[in-house]
Amino acid sequence: MWPPVAVELPERHEDTPAPGTDLPPHYAYCFGCGDRQEDGLHLRASVGEGQRIRSRFTVTEAHQGAPGLAHGGLLACAFDEALGTTVGNLLRRPAVTGRLETDFLRPVPVGTTLVIDARLDGVAGRKVYVSAEGRIDAEDGPVAVRARALFVLVELKHFIDNGRAEDLRAVAADPSLLGSRPVELNP
**According to CB under 6 A, which one of 3, 40, 94, 134 is a site residue for ligand 3IX?**
94
* Residue 71 in contact with ligand 3IX, rule: CB under 6 A: no
Cross-strand pairs, 124:
127
**According to CB under 6 A, which one of 10, 20, 21, 99 is a site residue for ligand 3IX?**
99
CA distance 179 to 183: 10
Q: Of all helices (H) and strands (E), which one includes residue 73?
A: helix 72-91
Closest CA to 56 of 139, 126, 127: 139
* Residue 171 in contact with ligand 3IX, rule: CB under 6 A: no
Number of C-beta neighbours around residue 41 at 10 A: 25
* Residue 98 in contact with ligand 3IX, rule: CB under 6 A: yes
CA distance 8 to 67: 44
Segment contacting ligand 3IX by CB under 6 A, of 59-67, 90-98, 107-115, 167-175: 90-98
* Residue 51 in contact with ligand 3IX, rule: CB under 6 A: no
Tell me the number of residues near ligand 3IX by CB under 6 A.
Answer: 23
Strand pairing class (52-58; 113-124)? antiparallel
* Residue 117 in contact with ligand 3IX, rule: CB under 6 A: no
By beta-carbon proximity to ligand 3IX, the closer residue of 36 and 99 is: 99
Spell out the residues 6+ positions from residue 117 whose beta carbon is closer than 8 angstroms to its own: 48, 52, 54, 132, 133, 134, 135, 139
By beta-carbon proximity to ligand 3IX, the closer residue of 84 and 136 is: 84
CA distance 162 to 147: 27
| Minimum CB–partner distance for residue 126 and ligand 3IX (Å) | 5
Site residues for ligand 3IX, 29-48, by CB under 6 A, read 32
Residues of this chain that interact with ligand 3IX (CB under 6 A) are 26, 32, 80-81, 84-85, 88-89, 92-94, 96-99, 125-127, 150, 152, 154, 181, 183
